[in-house]
């Protein structure tokens, strides 16, 4: 997840026309004969059970021809060089037979660790993070296979069976930088899509305080998200000046980490002995397989939001790595030095909602600079919001739309279009690359609408998302549900859609109903047994002995003794057993009434609590 401080109310929002972008759109879709063929992994990556598809958040399969392996590397600090150590997740192409032997990687590498981190970034109490974020996120798995080996150079029997293109001896490396509140798996779909085309992607987990949480020493320690605090203001310093100083300091650290990751990749390419604090049994083989495989003449740097600012800053660095191309997704330009040009060709894709004048002006200056590459491009995705390039909108489409953290365009199709544009751009820029980058653009109906921009952005191009892709996800889901399936299946789909859109209220509702269906029947069953002559087969001597012991305890605590022939304890135990035996009926009743109870009881209480909390905070 990436975030940014809301633009000042004094800043006027720049329209597309202010930027010089000609608005254009075409109808169409991303399906048809040009769609990429699915990779058969014998059901490992693609097959998900009906329960998972309905109730558990899932990530889309990667778009390229190769299956993807993932591997974590954390390097220790180096006192001699001054390097503080970096943490990255590598995404890279693997082979089908290797994927079959591996399990799919968890989206949260360390469930509770990152659930608490996301909760802290979202300003949630730890108890809420443990009860809400962890159950919702811990079970999610990516289509990537943990610690699978790198695809060897050339073609292997698996490739021939799947009709995959041979992988060249050298492939381009990509360094990816996340935005505020992200970490190394927040953009797993974006990174995995590039890796599935044959690139090696190193997704950084930054340690400047911009990550939701960053792991140290294999998750034994952490660097939490750094919250701006006015108590750190210097005498006479304004809040704006403090925030700019803070973000520029973080940006400088992020840019240094980009160069450190480049050095890590160079060391891996040279076959150096890398100490990995997150090493597994497979680590030596994976690291050795990277030896001599990376094409640094075609290296790419990419990022989103604050991470896109890191990518632009890295491209400005004349003393650092000379990247062949860059990808800047919704760059947050607040701390970027606009006086330095970016001569590296780059593509900047902007979401439609992430636009205001103070942020667009520095970006316009890059494109208007005489050193800007003629092939640099600018684009706007209609119907998208700032978070749409991350995994969250495809994991929780209804919820993210409801809280206005994603756009109205279908998030999965938006990611497909992002990928298509990036692959077309890389195909044009990485001319010396031996990797076949035609596979994505030839197998996808891109529906790109090129427009030469007016004024100072005349060297760029603008692309618009077709209107047909701007329907709400709920409308798409409803259409698909009505198209096929029995009434029962349609009902389950509707139920699952409501659950995905409002997981918190549904979980709370189910928990309350589960307790109520246990507590309320107990006294009712007891009264029924006590006031009826229903025989309960039970040994009389055992009952008498139990009453005797209970009488002793009651007497000890000052209560009246039980009669020897009393059946009160027997009725209590039987009531408990009956309620337990009715567990399947209770669960069915709870599941059926959960949406109704959430609507009439849980949500109103939550709303009232928020109003009271807001009123209390306002008084404070």
Q: pLDDT, tens digit, for every residue of 154-168?
A: 888 766 667 788 899
The helix/strand/coil state of 494 is helix
**27-60: string of b/e by CB count within 10 Å (b at 16+)?**
eeebeeeeebeebebeebbeeeeeeeebbbbbbb
Query: Does 195 have pLDDT greater than 90?
Result: yes
- The enclosing H or E element of 141 equals strand 141-146
| C-alpha angle 114-305-4 in degrees, rounded to nearest 5 | 75
Query: Does 478 have pLDDT greater than 60?
Result: no
Query: Does 380 have pLDDT greater than 90?
Result: no
* pLDDT score of 194: 97
Query: Does 446 have pLDDT greater than 50?
Result: no
Q: Are 463 and 446 in contact (CB under 8 A)?
A: no
Average pLDDT over residues 423-428: 91
Query: What pLDDT band is residue 545 in, cutting at 50, 70 and 90?
Result: confident
Q: For 171, which DSSP code?
A: B
Average pLDDT over residues 394-399: 92
DSSP-assigned states of every residue in 498-559: HHHHSHHHHHHHHHHHHHHHHHTHHHHHHHHHHTS-------HHHHHHHHHHHHHHHHHTTP
Lowest mean pLDDT among 64-68, 149-153, 365-369: 365-369
Which residue bears the tokens 């709870």?
590
Average pLDDT over residues 21-38: 30
- Going by CATH, does the domain composed of 20-470 fall within 3.40.50.1820? yes
Q: Where are the beta strands (DSSP E) in 55-140?
A: 68-74, 87-93, 104-106
Q: For 389, which DSSP code?
A: G
Query: Does 150 have pLDDT greater than 70?
Result: yes
* pLDDT score of 196: 95
Neighbouring C-beta atoms of residue 525, cutoff 10 Å: 19
**461-478: string of b/e by CB count within 10 Å (b at 16+)?**
bbbbbbeebbbbbeeebb
Average pLDDT over residues 419-445: 72
Lowest mean pLDDT among 78-82, 119-123, 475-479, 544-548: 475-479
pLDDT tens readout for residues 555-610: 888 888 777 778 888 888 888 999 999 998 999 899 889 888 988 888 888 888 87
Q: In Å, how far are 40, 458, 462 from 22, measured between CA atoms?
A: 42, 11, 8
Q: Are 339 and 313 in contact (CB under 8 A)?
A: no
Q: Are 453 and 20 in contact (CB under 8 A)?
A: yes
Average pLDDT over residues 333-349: 92
Neighbouring C-beta atoms of residue 562, cutoff 10 Å: 19
The helix/strand/coil state of 405 is coil
Say if strands 325-329 and 300-304 run parallel, antiparallel, or are unpaired: parallel
* pLDDT score of 303: 98
- 90 forms beta bridges with 71, 202
- Is the Cα dihedral 312, 212, 46, 388 positive or negative? negative
Query: What pLDDT band is residue 232 in, cutting at 50, 70 and 90?
Result: confident
Q: What is the CA radius of gyration of the chain?
A: 29
* pLDDT score of 482: 39
Lowest mean pLDDT among 360-369, 446-455, 540-549, 581-590: 446-455
Query: Does 110 have pLDDT greater than 80?
Result: yes
Neighbouring C-beta atoms of residue 532, cutoff 10 Å: 9
Cα–Cα dist 143/104, whole Å: 6
Instruction: Select the more confidently predicted residue: 110 or 490.
Output: 110
Neighbouring C-beta atoms of residue 307, cutoff 10 Å: 31
Lowest mean pLDDT among 1-15, 93-107, 192-206: 1-15
Average pLDDT over residues 497-521: 84
Q: For 234, which DSSP code?
A: P
Query: Does 49 have pLDDT greater than 90?
Result: no
For the chain, report the end-to-end CA distance as a whole number of angstroms: 30
Instruction: Select the more confidently predicted residue: 176 or 155.
Output: 176
Cα–Cα dist 119/132, whole Å: 9
Query: Does 472 have pLDDT greater than 50?
Result: no
Lowest mean pLDDT among 151-155, 285-289, 446-450: 446-450
> How deeply is 300 buried, as exposed, middle or buried, from its count of CB atoms within 10 A (0-12, 13-18, 19+)?
buried
Query: What pLDDT band is residue 97 in, cutting at 50, 70 and 90?
Result: confident
Tokens of 186: 């927040």
pLDDT tens readout for residues 305-337: 999 999 999 999 888 889 999 999 999 999 999
Tokens of 260: 């450190």
Query: Does 140 have pLDDT greater than 60?
Result: yes
Instruction: Select the more confidently predicted residue: 16 or 140.
Output: 140
Nearest to 495 by CA among 409, 400, 598: 598
The helix/strand/coil state of 177 is strand
Lowest mean pLDDT among 193-197, 421-425, 455-459: 455-459
Lowest mean pLDDT among 86-100, 134-148, 451-465: 451-465
The helix/strand/coil state of 95 is coil
Orientation angle between helical segments 503-519 and 583-597, nearest 10 degrees: 140
Tokens of 564: 């020897």
Cα–Cα dist 454/323, whole Å: 28
**363-402: string of b/e by CB count within 10 Å (b at 16+)?**
bbbbbebeebbeebbbbbbbbbbbbbbbbbbbbbbbbbbe
* pLDDT score of 469: 33
Considering 10-19, 23-32, 161-170, 465-474, the range whose residues carry the highest mean pLDDT is: 161-170
Domain-wise residue ranges, the chain:
20-470, 502-619
Cα–Cα dist 530/571, whole Å: 7
Query: Does 442 have pLDDT greater than 70?
Result: no
Q: Which residues contact 469 (CB under 8 A, 6 or more apart)?
A: 29, 30, 383, 409, 410, 413, 414, 417
Percent of the chain with pLDDT over 70: 81
Query: Does 450 have pLDDT greater than 60?
Result: no
* pLDDT score of 133: 85
Average pLDDT over residues 522-545: 84
Which residue bears the tokens 């890279």?
92
Lowest mean pLDDT among 123-127, 303-307, 456-460: 456-460
Neighbouring C-beta atoms of residue 457, cutoff 10 Å: 22
What pTM was computed for the model?
Answer: 0.69
* pLDDT score of 305: 97
Q: How many helices (H) and strands (E) does the chain have?
A: 24, 14
Averaged pLDDT score across all residues of the chain: 80
Tokens of 81: 């060089």
* pLDDT score of 504: 82
Query: Does 12 have pLDDT greater than 60?
Result: no
Nearest to 171 by CA among 290, 347, 322, 326: 290
* pLDDT score of 297: 94
- Is the Cα dihedral 28, 391, 433, 177 positive or negative? positive
* pLDDT score of 51: 45
Lowest mean pLDDT among 381-390, 430-439, 515-524: 430-439
Q: For 600, which DSSP code?
A: I
Query: Does 477 have pLDDT greater than 60?
Result: no
Instruction: Select the more confidently predicted residue: 538 or 412.
Output: 412
* pLDDT score of 615: 79
Query: Does 382 have pLDDT greater than 70?
Result: yes
């Amino acid at each position: 997840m990436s975030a940014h401080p809301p633009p000042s109310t004094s800043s006027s929002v720049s329209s597309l026309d202010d930027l010089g972008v000609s608005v254009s759109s075409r109808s169409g879709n991303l399906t048809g004969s040009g769609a990429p063929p699915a990779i058969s992994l014998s059901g490992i990556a693609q097959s998900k059970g009906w329960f998972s598809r309905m109730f558990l958040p899932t990530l889309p399969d990667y778009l390229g021809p190769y299956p993807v392996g993932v591997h974590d590397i954390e390097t220790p600090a180096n006192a001699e060089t001054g390097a503080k150590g970096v943490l990255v997740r590598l995404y890279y192409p693997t082979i089908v037979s290797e994927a079959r032997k591996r399990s799919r990687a968890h989206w949260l590498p360390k469930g509770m660790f990152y659930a608490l981190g996301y909760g802290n970034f979202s300003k949630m109490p730890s108890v809420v993070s443990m009860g809400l974020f962890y159950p919702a996120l811990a079970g999610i798995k990516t289509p990537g296979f943990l610690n699978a080996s790198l695809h060897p150079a050339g073609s292997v029997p698996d490739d021939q069976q799947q009709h995959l293109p041979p992988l060249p001896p050298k492939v381009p490396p990509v360094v990816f930088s996340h935005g505020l509140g992200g970490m190394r798996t927040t953009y797993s779909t974006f990174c995995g899509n590039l890796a599935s085309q044959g690139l090696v992607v190193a997704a950084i987990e930054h340690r400047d305080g911009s990550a939701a949480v960053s792991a140290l020493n294999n998750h034994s320690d952490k660097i939490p998200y750094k919250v701006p605090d006015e108590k750190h203001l210097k005498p006479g310093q304004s809040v704006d000046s403090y925030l700019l100083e803070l973000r520029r300091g973080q940006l400088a650290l992020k840019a240094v980490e980009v160069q450190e990751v480049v050095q890590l990749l160079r060391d891996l390419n040279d076959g150096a002995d890398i100490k990995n604090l997150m090493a597994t049994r497979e680590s030596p083989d994976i690291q050795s397989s990277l030896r001599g495989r990376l094409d640094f003449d075609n290296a790419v740097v990419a990022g989103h939001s604050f991470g896109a600012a890191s990518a632009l800053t890295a491209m400005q660095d004349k003393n650092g790595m000379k990247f062949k191309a860059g990808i800047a997704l919704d760059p947050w330009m607040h701390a970027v030095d606009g006086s330095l040009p970016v001569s590296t060709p780059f593509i900047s894709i902007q979401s439609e909602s992430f636009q205001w004048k103070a942020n667009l002006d520095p970006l316009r200056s890059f494109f208007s600079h005489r050193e800007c590459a003629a092939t640099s491009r600018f684009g706007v995705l209609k119907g998208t919001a700032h978070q749409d390039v991350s995994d969250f909108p495809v994991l929780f489409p209804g919820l993210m739309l409801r809280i206005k953290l994603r756009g109205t365009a279908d998030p999965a199709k938006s990611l497909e279009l992002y990928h298509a544009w990036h692959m077309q751009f890389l195909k044009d820029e990485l001319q010396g690359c031996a990797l076949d980058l035609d596979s994505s653009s030839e197998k996808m109906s891109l529906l790109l609408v090129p427009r030469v921009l007016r004024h100072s952005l005349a060297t760029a191009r603008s692309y618009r998302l077709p209107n047909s892709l701007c329907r709400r996800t709920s409308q798409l889901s409803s259409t698909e549900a009505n198209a096929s399936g029995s009434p029962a299946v349609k009902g389950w789909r509707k139920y699952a859609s409501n659950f995905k859109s409002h997981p918190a209220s549904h979980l709370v509702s189910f928990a309350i109903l589960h307790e109520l269906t246990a507590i309320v029947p107990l006294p009712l069953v007891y009264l029924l047994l006590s006031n009826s002559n229903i025989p309960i087969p039970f040994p009389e001597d055992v009952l008498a002995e139990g009453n005797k012991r209970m009488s002793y305890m009651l007497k000890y605590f000052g209560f009246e003794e039980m009669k020897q022939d009393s059946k009160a304890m027997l009725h209590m135990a039987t009531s408990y057993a009956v309620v337990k035996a009715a567990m399947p009926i209770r669960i069915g009743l709870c599941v059926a009434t959960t949406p109704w109870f959430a609507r009439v009881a849980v949500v109103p209480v939550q709303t009232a609590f928020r109003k009271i909390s807001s009123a209390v905070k306002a008084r404070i």
